[in-house]
Structure 1
Amino acid sequence: MARDVQITFDCADPAKLAAFWAEALGYRVQGPPEGFDSWEQALTAMGVPPERHNDASAVVDLEGAGPRLFFQRVPEPKRAKNRVHLDVRAAPGLTGEARMAALEAAADRLVALGATRGDRHEPAPPLAAGHIVMTDPEGNEFCLD
């Protein structure tokens, strides 16, 4: 039986990180509940004080196929390397130099959005196709694969 999966990020600024990942993945920030024009309006109606309006955010796949990403504010900063990370499939079906060129283009686009570029790992056939290590604006590791 298949399960629906949500990926949760602990972070300092849920709105900022949600906006980054929405752009990075071609997702959209999840809209407010029905009957509200904005999250600010909905949260105010729910009695959430203004200083708590950025406690959480989420992004969803435009086509409804990918997992929902949920961002929740936590008081402590990130301290160590992630034990689990996302692989952003930026060059599916490509190999060799065409693959690495596509990954480089994706890396440049994400750096412009606030990501930081890490190491480039060259293709090493037959098992490794090559990838680029990145971190999002709050330092969470992910790979362009």
Structure 2
Amino acid sequence: MPSIKKFQVTFDCADPERVARFWCEVLGYVVPPPPDGFATWDDYDRSLPPERQGAGFVCQDPTGEGPRLYFQRVPEGKVVKNRVHLDVRVGTGLVGEERLAALQAECTRLLALGAVRERVLLADEYNESCIVMQDIEGNEFCLD
């Protein structure tokens, strides 16, 4: 039987630290301590060659259970819909109006952080309601 592998999710973006800190707020993740020998991430960043400064940033689940998120600077902007997206599970176990209320409350919190609501998909005979959103650089995700 193959062993279970740890993985990280990598986001291409223009401003890695800004996007990472947004996702810390969304998921309750934290920025890990800076590498040994550096008091802060800014100190570490300044030690890099100029072209590498600000090129990446990380956030992680403080419990160690969820995947690490890595944000890397790329020169091109986002132009098409994501092929992969995160489903942020805030309505687990809820149905109907109770679920929709929980999704709307989380949507309101994330709008204040700079997220954008694209659309609400209401429950049908196959799926429960969800809200399609975008992060601060336009990457789609769902409140589910």
Q: State the TM-score, normalized to the length of structure 2.
A: 0.93
Query: 1:66-106 CA deviation, whole Å, 9 max, x = no partner?
Result: 00000000000001000111100011111110000000000
Task: Name the residue aligned to 1:10.
Answer: 12
Shift of 1:48: 1.0
Amino acid at match of 2:83: R
2:138 alignment partner in structure 1: 139
Check conservation: 2:103, 2:131, Cα contact below 8 A.
yes
**Within-5 A mapping of 1:118-133:** 118-125=118-125, 127-133=126-132
Identity of aligned residues (%): 53
On the 8 A contact 2:17/2:57 being kept in 1, the answer is: yes
Tell me how far apart the structure 1 counterparts of residues 118 and 69 of structure 2 sit (CA, whole Å).
Answer: 23
Alignment of 1:49-128 (within 5 A): 49=49, 52-125=52-125, 127-128=126-127
> Aligned pairs, how many?
142
Q: Any conservation in 2 of the 1:40–1:53 contact (CA below 8 Å)?
A: no
The alignment yields a C-alpha RMSD, in angstroms, of: 1.3
State the alpha-carbon separation in 2 of the partners of residues 34 and 49 from structure 1: 18
8 Å contact kept, 1:6–1:70: yes
Query: What secondary structure, in the 3-state scheme, does the structure 2 residue paired with 1:28 have?
Result: coil
Does the 8 A contact of 1:58 with 1:70 survive in 2?
yes
| TM-score normalized by the length of structure 1 | 0.93
Contiguous gaps of at least 5 residues in structure 1:
none
